[in-house]
Amino acid sequence: MEENRYRVIIIGSGPAGLTAAIYTSRANLNPLLIEGNQPGGQLTITTGVDNYPGFSEGIQGPQLMAEMKKQARRFGTNFLSGEAEEVDFSNRPFTIKVNDKNYKADSIIIASGASARFLGLESEKRLIGFGVSTCATCDGYFYKDKEVAVVGGGDSAVEESLFLTKFASKVYIIHRRNQLRATKIMQDKAFKNEKIEILWDSIVTEILGEKETGVTGVKLKNVKTGEISEKRFDGVFLAIGHIPNTEIFKNKLELDEKGYIKTSHRTQTSIKGVFAAGDVVDKVYRQAVTAAGTGCISALDAERFLESEKI
């Protein structure tokens, strides 16, 4: 086969991409996996994973991903570090540009995942890395004996808050409604933790501070009373969900109204031979095990497609 030409190219190295790599390499399809800007995906910025089957005592996220990568490598997956910059799905073989070089494949599996959502404030952009963070497990350590805020009301917000209580003296959850979205078991943990206080019906309208000082607090608006207040914090963690990493697929594949890739016939996208799996498709379940599951399905779908096309 000509240089940079593959039967399958996988975009993304989270549980979906690596599972697709394990299956396609084990089927002797000699896949190329493009790792993206966060090799290992979102699990590399979490700590303990307690609900991935097979690890009765739990496993650290980065370790789980390192094991998956080792397993994919064992069967001969080729890894390419870099990001998919551009795709051309108009003809087969399909083309993907990475680091200014073109790579061609008869089938593609997209497992590019999702990234943290931001509030959309100018101040949050200015202060990201200076007291604004989207990853408590990465940055929590810096807030020993400090007071921090976590924005959001889902499982992530609660999980990050619980983690932060190991370091911070006080953790405020700022939530826009008067009821958490998090699962009952997580809610109970938050309510029981004396270091956690919830600021209900509140939205952050501005994050205060400068790069020199770091975050000094936030401006809050109570959505029920309209009251504006200021509260001092040393750090602000955003945990308000995710957006799919589909920028380069706009106008190339059918996406839904939120930007997730649409699939039909299992993992088939709107283009025959292009498959999608994991969080880039799934806005409902978003679990490591469901991503791995759809990654497996996408590999089997790609294998069947190549067979049916006699490639």
Q: Are 238 and 134 in contact (CB under 8 A)?
A: yes
C-alpha 112/C-alpha 8 separation (Å) is: 15
The answer to whether 259 contacts ligand NAP (rule: CB under 6 A) is no
Identify whether 145 is a catalytic site residue.
no
3-class DSSP state of 216: strand
Q: Which is nearer to ligand NAP, 21 or 198 (CB)?
A: 198
C-alpha 35/C-alpha 286 separation (Å) is: 19
The answer to whether 152 contacts ligand NAP (rule: CB under 6 A) is yes
Question: Near ligand NAP by CB under 6 A, which window of 62-70, 87-95, 239-247, 274-282?
Answer: 239-247
How far separated are the first and last CA of the chain, in Å rounded? 12
From the candidates 50, 88, 138, 256, give the one annotated as an active-site residue: 138
- The least CB distance from residue 35 to ligand NAP, in Å, is 23
Return the ∠ at Cα 49 (arms to 48 and 55), rounded to 5°: 115
Count interface residues toward ligand NAP (CB under 6 A). Answer: 17
Q: What is the amino acid identity at position 134?
A: T
The answer to whether 92 contacts ligand NAP (rule: CB under 6 A) is no
The answer to whether 154 contacts ligand NAP (rule: CB under 6 A) is yes
C-alpha 45/C-alpha 137 separation (Å) is: 6
Name 149's bridge partners.
172, 236
Identify whether 296 is a catalytic site residue.
no
From the candidates 106, 139, 279, 282, give the one annotated as an active-site residue: 139
3-class DSSP state of 187: helix
The answer to whether 240 contacts ligand NAP (rule: CB under 6 A) is yes
Residues 187-206 that bind ligand NAP (CB under 6 A): 203
Where do contacts with ligand NAP occur on this chain (CB under 6 A)? Answer: 119, 151-157, 159, 176-177, 181, 203, 239-241, 286
Query: Would you name the residues annotated as active-site residues?
Result: 135, 138-139
